[in-house]
Structure 1
Amino acid sequence: MAPRANWKGFLRLSLVTCPVALYPATSESEKISFNQLNRQTGHRIKYLKVDTDTGEEVPNEDIVKGYQFEKDQFIEVSKEELEAIALESTRTIEIDEFVDKADIDPRYLIRPYYIRPDGKVGHDAFAVIRETIREIDKVAIGRVVLTNREHIIALEPMDKGLVGTLRYPYEVRSEQEYFEEIQDVKVTKDMLDLARHIVNQKAGRFDPEKFEDHHENALIELINQKRAGKPITPKERPRGDNVVDLMDALRKSVGSAAAESKTAKKLTKKVKKAAAGQKEILMPIAGKKPAKEVTPKKQTAGTRRKSA
């Protein structure tokens, strides 16, 4: 029995969509790990979540997320409010483009996952996407939200499923426990021809600078709206309908991909310009000092941004 999926949603290439599940392809359970002990008693150390002022332990149900906009001044953000701004990539892996694997810096290939159809539907659409990527010998680049952060994900075919990158052999789980239930689907030449045409229209070169962290921008907008007292409007959830007429969806996707390619260069320039001078000014609360500018911190090797 395969482990529980880390993420479930939809894989989409233009108008072709199928439900998928995402599983970690590696495991560190075989590695030696240590616990922290009290030298005097030999007992394990336990960390408690306490109130910084009262020193009392706080139960998990009373802990909420908060953004600090001034020293010791916070804006509370609930789970429901985070759900309200959920990006489409929270529930859908949208394939944005296809690139040569050689274009991808190996430093970006981390956290490999196995991807397979979720449930009994969608195997036909999954097979078309998988075999198209296999035939053109490229890597599909998309976006997905994991652990409340949007990530770039590179998809490659492996056996009957899709996979990310490689690790040490003892860290890698067998793909069979994930892929053995995937249906054997015969993909026709007409389907592959149409899918290849879509891919050619989405072809590009891997450039991490043109990718924008949509989830980070959505969080900034959420905080701004809460400080301004504006209501949080939930985004429409993506539809998960299975493709009934796959050929029809592929034909319509060809026209859709052509329209997207016309604006791709404009969007890339817009994103690069925004990334170069991106800043959001939080609106001041009455009676409070003006809020500081929220500017995305520049990422450096070996550092990570703290989650809210």
Structure 2
Amino acid sequence: MPRPIWSGMISFGLVNVPVRLYNATKKKTVRFNQLRKGDGCRIRLKKVCSSDEKDVQQGDIARGYEVSPDRYVVVTDEDMEALAPKASRLIEIGTFVKLEQIDPIYYEQTYYLMPDKGAAKAYTLLLSAMNDTGKVGVARFVLRNKEYLAALRPYQNILSLSVMLFSDEIVSVGEFEEVPEQIELNPKEVNMAKQLVDTLTMEFEPEQYKNEYYYQILDMIEKKAEGEVIESQPAATNNGKVLDLMSALEASMKAIKESNSKTKKKSKLKKEA
């Protein structure tokens, strides 16, 4: 049973909705420990002073910000606490906007918001209003002594909260020298590219996409634990052919048509069987 990581209230206008915040995602990754190759002994990492090579205990460690080479400003816990945002239990919606106005590049982490005791009616009212208007709420809230910008939006039949990056955390495209210049395109190539896009277009089904590398690692670990010898996979090779853009588009369309034809034949054989 998931446990809430925060509880407070959604505030919009003079309406407060008590809610609980839950993690909506769980990243799948395989964590490894560092071992000594000879005997498998686990490695412990020590904190050592760079000047005298002596071990440093946690209580003797200060926080420092480098302002120039080897020159630091020491920042204490008291300094940080003085600047910490005022503790609050409010997710304060400042404005509502259309969902399409927020580019996905701003989204960072998503949570679920569930109604707290006695808040079902107010929660459902907000959810219904957002669904009917197609709007999302842009809000600020404090979690673990840090203030966040967030978007509240309906997800299925509940409210979700997506933590957002601030605008100055987004790298401007103008900073890159590689941004393509305006190039005059061949209309035939444009039409062929559109056909390729249309051919590959389908409904998004997230269940079709698996973290294959994660499961391959787990499978490999299981096999090694059972004593199996793992053989290296051959590296992918390039056939050496360099196709021009139009040839590549035409070859792609041909491959898709052949694949679709084979799929239809298999489906027909299954039905006849």
TM-score, normalised relative to structure 1: 0.45
Rg (Cα) greater in structure = 2
Of Structure 1 and Structure 2, the greater strand share is in 2
Q: Which has the higher contact order (CA 8 A, sep 6+)?
A: 1
